[in-house]
Chains A and B, each alone.
Chain A
């Protein structure tokens, strides 16, 4: 058990513990903060997996934009009159059972896997220089998805503005 492996277990425990707290806290703002901790931990897990670019993207976009956006939403929809809102709905217990069963099903499905390549991973195999061509070269197959995702982002941008703007009476 080297130090890095021990750190991985600590990070994994942090991720799961913070996720559990994020899903069970009464104070919504605390939930968002625990989610930030969990997502930082996931970025650490990405580093253990050797995907440095994805760790950076995770911190930039998930922690840096998505959670900030969630906190904006929390601030804008906070009902200051009621502090004792219920946390869980009527099916909380059965949904906990369902969630545990789903986790168990996933683990059951992957319980016996063929071993990976025996040789160690060549250095630079997961480099960013290999990821760029995947997304942009036509012969690699992801360029269509890349373009569609950019259109999706534009549509989401326009759609969010249209949905959230105040109703306007058109005098004309």
Chain B
């Protein structure tokens, strides 16, 4: 698979990141925002692994970081969903716009 150039993986990673960012910024459901965050984290992991392969796996920083990204994402989803469920109990909606009490 070394015939696939690095740039193609980077385009894929950038596309994933941009799509996730669009979801985070524009969706009106907190769980959709969480899904956008997951897409962004996946784009980052692809980027790390693409560069690790590009340098011939000289150091394994890329895969180790990708493992940590996946682990931290799992922990983050747990806490984020707990928060969303608690918010839903209070506000009867999971729209982030409804939780804008602190907004100027």
Docked complex: B1-35 residues within 8 A CB-CB of A: 1-4, 6-23, 25-29, 31-32, 34-35
Q: Which of chain A's residues has its CB closest to B46's CB?
A: A45
Query: In the complex, which of the residues B10, B11, B85 contacts A73, with contact meaning CB atoms closer than 8 Å?
Result: B85
In the complex the two chains form, what is the Cα distance from A15 to B8 in whole Å? 13
Majority secondary structure of chain A interface residues (helix, strand, loop or mixed): helix
Given contacts A85-B95, A149-B71, contact A35 B39 (CB under 8 A): yes
Given contacts A54-B67, A156-B76, A164-B82, contact A22 B18 (CB under 8 A): no
Q: Contacts of B25 on A, CB cut-off 8 Å?
A: 91, 95, 98-99
In the complex the two chains form, what is the Cα distance from A22 to B23 in whole Å? 9
Q: Contacts of A113 on B, CB cut-off 8 Å?
A: 6-7, 54
State the Cβ distance, A138 to closest chain B Cβ, in Å. 14
Contact residues on A (Cβ < 8 Å of other chain), bracket: 35 or more
Assess whether B53 is in contact with A126, with CB atoms less than 8 Å apart.
Answer: yes
Assess whether A89 is in contact with B97, with CB atoms less than 8 Å apart.
Answer: yes
Chain A interface residues (CB < 8 Å from chain B) = 2, 4-5, 8, 12, 15-16, 19-20, 22-23, 28, 31-32, 35, 38-39, 42, 45-46, 48-51, 53-54, 57-58, 61-62, 65-66, 69-70, 72-74, 76-77, 79, 85-89, 91-92, 95-96, 98-100, 102-103, 106-107, 110, 113, 116-117, 119-122, 125-126, 130-131, 134-135, 142, 145, 149, 152-153, 155-157, 159-161, 163-164
Number of A-B contacts (CB under 8 A): 243
In the complex the two chains form, what is the Cα distance from A19 to B46 in whole Å? 14
Assess whether B66 is in contact with A51, with CB atoms less than 8 Å apart.
Answer: yes
In the complex the two chains form, what is the Cα distance from A54 to B95 in whole Å? 34
Contact residues on B (Cβ < 8 Å of other chain), bracket: 35 or more
Assess whether A159 is in contact with B42, with CB atoms less than 8 Å apart.
Answer: no
Assess whether B85 is in contact with A76, with CB atoms less than 8 Å apart.
Answer: yes
Query: In the complex, which of the residues B57, B93, B94 contacts A125, with contact meaning CB atoms closer than 8 Å?
Result: B57
Q: Which of chain B's residues has its CB closest to A45's CB?
A: B46
Q: Contacts of B83 on A, CB cut-off 8 Å?
A: 163
Assess whether A121 is in contact with B56, with CB atoms less than 8 Å apart.
Answer: yes
State the Cβ distance, A145 to closest chain B Cβ, in Å. 6
In the complex the two chains form, what is the Cα distance from A106 to B16 in whole Å? 11
Q: Contacts of A86 on B, CB cut-off 8 Å?
A: 28
